[in-house]
Structure formats: structure tokens, C-alpha cells
Amino acid sequence: MSSNKAVDFLQKKIGYIFVNKKLLGQALVHRSAIQGTPHEYDNERLEFLGDRILNLCIADLLFKTYRGDSEGNLSKRHAALVQQETLAIVAREIGLGDCLTLGKGEEATGGRGKDSILSDAIEALIAALYLDMPQEEDLSQARLFINTFWKPLLDKVETRDPKSRLQELLQSCGHPLPEYEIVELQGEAHNRVFVMEVITPSFGSAIGKGPSKQAAQQEAARALLQTLPEDLTQKTG
């Protein structure tokens, strides 16, 4: 259960005190906490709305910031800024994980730190900001929140996924492409975690975990890239 202190910190961090506390509370409830009850009590519906608001506000921010960029470059930047990893970065910055209400299973398996849960929750929070405002101002607070916490990331996020970057790096050095192997399957069938290893003859290997093979491969590639010298990885920057 989230603490009042954590929720107070969250509101202070984002610079907004909710009028409708129940709305904020719902945004912080993960579906695992109320299995079998209608979705009006968890944050899934809010997540749906927040996702659309985030996409609109990020598109607007990019359009106005990068006036000389092509549609293709804007699309790449947009995809990087709304991806799960980026949302989780912002969620951690505002202490969102400490505010969440989770089921016992998610609590026991570190749900407060999972990118998937954090990214869903921050989308729900965006929707709650939107709905808590008067109709004539409904988008203003959500837009302010997004601009405040995403602007610093505009030139920091990587516009290509780790697998693509690793492949391009190997090709640029004339090395064979990486291979990916399943090392282990963790968790129950409904909450499966894939453990993948990326193997390269030139740069060694690394392990990554994720809810799917593709996600685990991306994490393995990311882990391997992080072990390489900066001057080498800048070849694909």
C-alpha cells in the first residue's frame, strides 16, 4: 500500500495538488491489487487515456522544438520519448513506484521497480492530471507536467533500439552479427520472464531479462553496449 508521505512527495515533485484525491488514488492502483473487480477501480482505463495524451503532447513538443526536422526524424524522436524505458525514467524521478498499490505477487517480485508497471502508472497519472482540471483547462496541467519532465530528455534518448545499435556497430567494424540464446525462463506462465544472452565473437556476451524474448534481447544488447568503450559506441550514436 502506498504511504501518504510518498503521495505527498509525488504531488510536491510534480508541482500539483490534486483536487480529486480519489482520481489520484485510482491512478496509483495496479490491476494486481484488485483482481476480479471492475476496471473502474484500477488504473488501466486511465492508462489508456494517458497514453493518448502523452503521444499528443510529445508530438506537439517535438514539432515546436525541432522545426527543421523531417517527419521521419520526428517520428524516431517521438518513439524514443514514449517508449517504456523513458516513461520509467520519469516515473523513478518523481518517486512514483513508492506510491503504487500492488498485489502481493507483484510486491514480492519487485513490482515497484518494473519498467512495465511504472510506465503504465505514469500514463495513468497523466490522465488523472487531465481529468482533475476544469474542462476549459483540462490539458494544461498534463501538458505542463510532460513538458517539464520530458524536455530534459529530448536530446538524451537514443532514437534506435539497442539491438539495432549493436548490429550496426558490429557491421561497421566488419564483425559477424550477434546471436541470442534463451538462458532461462523464470516465473509462472501468466507472469513469465525470459532471460536471454547475446553472444558476439568480438565484444563478449551479456544477459538481459524481459517479459518477452524480444524485450529480453533488447535488454541483453543494452547491457553489452554499456560494457563497451564510449568512443566505440559513438560510432552508432
Indicate the residue type of 141.
Q
Residue 121 and residue 25 in contact, taking contact as beta carbons nearer than 8 Å:
no
The CATH number linked to 149 is 1.10.1520.10
List CB contacts of 208: < 8 A, sequence separation 6 or more. Answer: 195, 196, 197, 198, 216, 217, 218, 219, 220, 221, 222, 223
C-alpha dist (Å) from residue 122 to 36, 45, 203, 222: 23, 13, 36, 23
Does 100 lie in the same domain as 65? Answer: yes
- The domain boundary, picked from 153, 171, 186, lies at 153
Does 214 lie in the same domain as 101? Answer: no
% of the chain residues with pLDDT over 90: 58
Does 34 lie in the same domain as 90? Answer: yes
Q: Is the pLDDT of residue 230 over 80?
A: no
Cα–Cα distance between 43 and 39 in angstroms, integer? 7
Does 127 lie in the same domain as 35? Answer: yes
Q: Is the pLDDT of residue 33 over 60?
A: yes
Cα–Cα distance between 74 and 149 in angstroms, integer? 19
Does 57 lie in the same domain as 144? Answer: yes
Does 29 lie in the same domain as 135? Answer: yes
List CB contacts of 2: < 8 A, sequence separation 6 or more. Answer: 28, 98, 99, 100, 101
For the question of residue 51 being annotated catalytic, the response is yes
Range of the structural domain that residue 207 is part of = 162-236
Nearest of 157, 164, 162 to residue 58 by alpha carbon: 157
Residue 192 and residue 185 in contact, taking contact as beta carbons nearer than 8 Å:
yes
Does 149 lie in the same domain as 50? Answer: yes
Condensed to tens digits (0 to 9), the pLDDT of residues 190-203 reads 778 899 999 998 89
The CATH number linked to 208 is 3.30.160.20
Does 231 lie in the same domain as 120? Answer: no
Considering the candidates 42, 51, 106, 120, report the single residue annotated as catalytic: 51
Region 8-14: mean pLDDT is: 96
Residue 219 and residue 209 in contact, taking contact as beta carbons nearer than 8 Å:
yes
Q: Please give the mean pLDDT across all residues of the chain.
A: 89
Does 192 lie in the same domain as 147? Answer: no
Please report the pLDDT score of residue 10 as a whole number: 96
C-alpha cell at 40: 473502474
Cα–Cα distance between 8 and 15 in angstroms, integer? 10
Cα–Cα distance between 100 and 49 in angstroms, integer? 19
Q: How many domains does the chain have?
A: 2
Greatest Cα pair distance in the chain? 59
Does 90 lie in the same domain as 25? Answer: yes
- The domain boundary, picked from 118, 153, 188, lies at 153
Q: Is the pLDDT of residue 145 over 80?
A: yes
Work out the pLDDT band at 73, boundaries 50, 70, 90: confident
Condensed to tens digits (0 to 9), the pLDDT of residues 74-99 reads 998 999 899 888 999 999 999 999 99
Please report the pLDDT score of residue 36 as a whole number: 63
Does 170 lie in the same domain as 127? Answer: no
| Rounded (5°) CA angle 25-2-30 | 60
Return the H-helix or E-strand segment holding 200.
Answer: strand 193-200
- The domain boundary, picked from 130, 153, 176, lies at 153
Considering the candidates 47, 106, 115, 123, report the single residue annotated as catalytic: 123
Cα–Cα distance between 54 and 48 in angstroms, integer? 10
Does 221 lie in the same domain as 104? Answer: no
